[in-house]
């Protein structure tokens, strides 16, 4: 931190260090930390014998090419008093520019020198994103469950096209590299919202999510699921008012889509079996008669049962049970619903039957699962 302009908030550089480290105190590995004031830092823990002994911080730098109009807009967005604005302008003008990809390379190199641990830059970038959006992923899963249960579940064009292709192909590794190399260019936001830079970034994020949703459908993701996920991610972004969180949420949404496409492609089935899988996913909180699946797939019930078992290794009954148990795990993890309530929501005959089936698939009872350490 030597040689940089005085920080407008922290006169002592070590106070800045402590404030950044405090926010990432639970992170176990190296992390890229970004603030709402266009700063980025690298934090690399010094690990010895499995314990963190110290933390090395590199920064601040900025991944944003700052100019006076952008700085003025940010100062307005965050309500910085006039008498303090000159400090921020001097500080920002002295921040060295470095895009994320360069900074992430420094991060993994430093981690290797300190901890002799080999990491990919995509590992660090995804870990940084997950730390910021884990809670929202939990909220999305619960919202998806509720919508199924209550039947309402029903940087340039070339770069954008490349990103859409990566999502459609389920290529998460290359997508993470592309996102890590993104450098914000204020020219992309001109004309969208002169009053608020944050509003402009929200607009870009919402557009990106809509395109990502379309690309995910092209890659095989169920259209209803993609639409609902898009709605949930956009709603979350609209609720945010901090630049760093908006950006993390937007990247997290894009990664969510590519993850789901990758899963679909890995489990690709024949059209009749895929139709059954999608119907089962969307109707886990309802009775699912075999005859209904037969009608949807266009096959007779007996042949459909044989085909499904051949492709998945599970009978339709066991597959539905397995999917309901996976859903019940999420409800046990993320809600305070009683076991009897979860049992009823997922249409098990009674609690004893639910416990028996849960233990068959999970190896423990629902109570043991919820109380695990």
Instruction: Dump pLDDT digits (tens) for 170-192.
Output: 888 888 888 877 654 444 444 44
Q: How many C-beta neighbours within 10 Å does residue 60 have? A: 22
Q: Which domains does the chain have, with CATH numbers?
A: 13-119 (no CATH), 134-266 (no CATH), 271-370 (1.10.10.60)
Please, which residues have CB within 8 angstroms of residue 7's CB and are 6 or more apart in sequence? Answer: 13, 16, 91
Q: How many residues does the chain have?
A: 373
pLDDT digits (tens, 9 = 90+) for 219-240: 988 888 888 888 889 888 888 8
Interhelix angle 172-180/243-266, nearest 10 degrees:
160
Share of the chain above pLDDT 70, in %: 86
Global confidence as pTM = 0.58
The segment with the largest mean pLDDT, out of 23-32, 139-148, 346-355, is 346-355
Please, which residues have CB within 8 angstroms of residue 272's CB and are 6 or more apart in sequence? Answer: 297, 298, 299, 304, 307
**Rounded distance between C-alpha atoms, residue 308 and residue 311, angstroms:** 5
Q: Phi and psi for 97 in degrees, rounded to 5?
A: -90, 135
pLDDT digits (tens, 9 = 90+) for 8-46: 888 888 888 888 888 776 677 888 888 878 888 988 888
Q: How many C-beta neighbours within 10 Å does residue 141 have? A: 16
Span 118-124, mean pLDDT? Answer: 79
Span 154-176, mean pLDDT? Answer: 78
121 pLDDT band, cuts 50/70/90, is confident
Please give the structure tokens belonging to residue 67: 């100019």
CA contacts within 13 A on the Cβ side of 304: 22
pLDDT digits (tens, 9 = 90+) for 236-262: 888 888 888 888 888 889 999 999 899
pLDDT digits (tens, 9 = 90+) for 263-273: 888 887 888 99
Which residues face 52 on adjacent strands? 47
Which residues face 31 on adjacent strands? 43
Nearest partner of 357 among 320, 321, 316, judged by Cα: 321
Mean pLDDT of the chain: 82
Q: What pLDDT shows up at residue 365? A: 95
**Rounded distance between C-alpha atoms, residue 369 and residue 262, angstroms:** 28
Q: What pLDDT shows up at residue 353? A: 93
**End-to-end distance of the chain based on CA atoms, in angstroms?**
40
The angle formed by the CA atoms of residues 84, 86 and 90, to the nearest 5 degrees, is 125
Nearest partner of 213 among 226, 232, 197, judged by Cα: 226
78 pLDDT band, cuts 50/70/90, is confident
Distances (CA, A) of 145 to 88, 142, 212, 265: 45, 5, 22, 22
DSSP string, 300-313: -HHHHHHHHHHHHS
Whether the pLDDT of residue 194 is over 50: the answer is: no
């Amino acid at each position: 931190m030597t040689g940089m302009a005085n920080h407008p908030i922290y006169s002592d550089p070590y106070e800045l260090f402590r404030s950044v480290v405090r926010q990432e105190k639970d992170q176990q590995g190296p992390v890229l930390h970004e603030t709402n004031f266009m700063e980025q830092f690298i934090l690399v823990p010094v690990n010895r014998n499995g314990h963190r002994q110290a933390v090395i911080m590199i920064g601040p730098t900025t991944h944003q090419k700052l100019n006076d109009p952008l700085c003025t807009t940010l100062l307005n967005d965050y309500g910085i008093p006039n008498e303090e604005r000159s400090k921020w302008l001097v500080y920002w003008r002295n921040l060295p520019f470095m895009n994320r990809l360069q900074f992430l390379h420094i991060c993994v190199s430093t981690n290797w020198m300190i901890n002799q641990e080999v990491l990919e830059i995509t590992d660090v970038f995804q870990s940084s994103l997950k730390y910021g959006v884990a809670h929202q992923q939990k909220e999305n899963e619960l919202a998806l469950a509720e919508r199924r249960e209550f039947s309402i579940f029903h940087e340039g064009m070339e770069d954008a096209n490349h990103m859409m292709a990566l999502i459609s192909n389920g290529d998460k590794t290359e997508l993470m590299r592309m996102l890590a190399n993104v450098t914000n260019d204020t020219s992309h936001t001109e004309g969208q919202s002169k009053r608020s830079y944050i509003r402009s970034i929200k607009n870009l994020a919402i557009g990106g999510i809509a395109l990502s949703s379309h690309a995910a459908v092209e890659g095989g993701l169920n259209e209803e699921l993609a639409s609902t996920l898009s709605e949930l991610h956009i709603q979350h972004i609209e609720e945010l008012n901090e630049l760093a969180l908006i950006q993390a949420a937007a990247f997290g949404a894009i990664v969510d889509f590519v993850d789901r496409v990758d899963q679909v492609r890995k489990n690709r089935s024949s059209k009749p079996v895929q139709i059954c899988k999608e119907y089962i996913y969307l109707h886990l909180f309802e009775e699912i008669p075999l005859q209904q699946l037969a009608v949807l797939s266009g096959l007779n019930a007996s042949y459909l049962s044989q085909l499904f078992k051949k492709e998945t290794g599970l009978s339709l009954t066991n597959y539905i049970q397995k999917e309901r148990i996976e859903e019940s795990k999420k409800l046990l993890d993320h809600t305070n619903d009683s076991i009897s309530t979860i049992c009823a929501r997922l249409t098990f005959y009674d609690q004893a039957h639910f416990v028996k089936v849960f233990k068959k698939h999970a190896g423990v009872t629902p109570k043991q699962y919820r109380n695990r350490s």
